[in-house]
Amino acid sequence: MCRTCGCSDGVGQPTSHAHDHTVDHDRAPGHVHASPSATAVVLSLEQRVLERNDRLAAETRRWLGARGVLALNLMSGPGAGKTTLLERTLRDIGGELEISVIEGDQATDHDADRIRSAGGRAVQVNTGAGCHLDAAMVARALVELGPAEGSVVVIENVGNLVCPALFDLGENAKVVVTSVTDGDDKPLKYPHMFRAGDVLLVNKIDLLPYVRFDRDRCLTFAREMNPRICTFEVSATRGDGLDAWYGWLRQRAAQAHRVGEG
């Protein structure tokens, strides 16, 4: 359960169609004028939900690790270019690395269709009113996806720079995508997301001549939030910087494969 928006827990199902799950915001935790005892109940419930999520995520991580599968949690705000990045990655190195995708969206299977058109295997998870994927949704999708040993699974999370940072999905690394059209202050506005990330991709750098974006300022803010974050500046459409991104992918996939063999 997400206190930020009141979205429901565990509604997402692997599907090729949208499911409509509505939320009564007048009754959601963030909209109730509750007594201290009621607040304590809400906090206790949230803690149990997160603990259950973390246990399932740990089981998923062990299951993937035993098979040498590299799992990435790909996160961004809407429109930063996650799906375009995956399409380009599949077309460029899909013959070298077997990459499959779990697509998370509130509705439609448009992005899963784009992944399949680019040559990848995909399972769509529609969350309805939910603003993020959780470990239960991913575990169900993995059963349907059936990733091969030694392959790469990319979990493209719902476009949202808040709640996805809070939920472990059983991934090996969190990859955050921002774009030059988003503005250079996103790391300051959404610190939890950038603190959680292992990798930051600054996308759409081909548009730098046309927008007000200070790349040094953005990267400085990101490193202030998270000194260990690994950064790449890329254009998923023009191809700038993608060789470095592919090199990182190859290295992490090889590490996961060695762990699985061990």
Domain ranges within the chain, ordered by starting residue:
32-261
List % helix, strand, coil for the chain (3-state, nearest 5): 45, 15, 40
Predicted confidence band of residue 134 (pLDDT cuts 50, 70, 90): very high
CB 184 within 8 A of CB 220: no
Position 20 scores a pLDDT of 33
Question: What are the distances in angstroms from CA 163 to CA 34, 37, 151, 196, 257?
Answer: 23, 25, 27, 11, 30
Tens digits of residue pLDDT in 97-106: 999 999 999 9
Predicted confidence band of residue 42 (pLDDT cuts 50, 70, 90): low
Per-residue burial over 98-110, b = 16 or more CB atoms within 10 Å of its CB, e = otherwise: bbbbbbbbbeebe
Per cent of the chain over pLDDT 70 is 83
Structural tokens at position 67: 């098979």
Tens digits of residue pLDDT in 238-255: 999 999 999 999 999 999
Whole-angstrom distance, CA of residue 68 vs CA of residue 76: 26
What kind of fold does domain 32-261 have according to CATH?
Rossmann fold (3.40.50)
Q: Which residue has the tokens 């827990």?
A: 9
Q: Which residue has the tokens 């090996």?
A: 172
For the cut 50, the answer to whether the pLDDT of residue 1 exceeds it is no
CA nearest to 177, candidates 253, 229, 133, 239 = 229
Position 182 scores a pLDDT of 97
Per-residue burial over 180-215, b = 16 or more CB atoms within 10 Å of its CB, e = otherwise: bebbbebbeebbebbebbbbbbbbbbeebeeeebee
Whole-angstrom distance, CA of residue 104 vs CA of residue 118: 17
Per cent of the chain over pLDDT 90 is 80
Tens digits of residue pLDDT in 153-181: 999 999 999 999 999 999 999 999 999 99
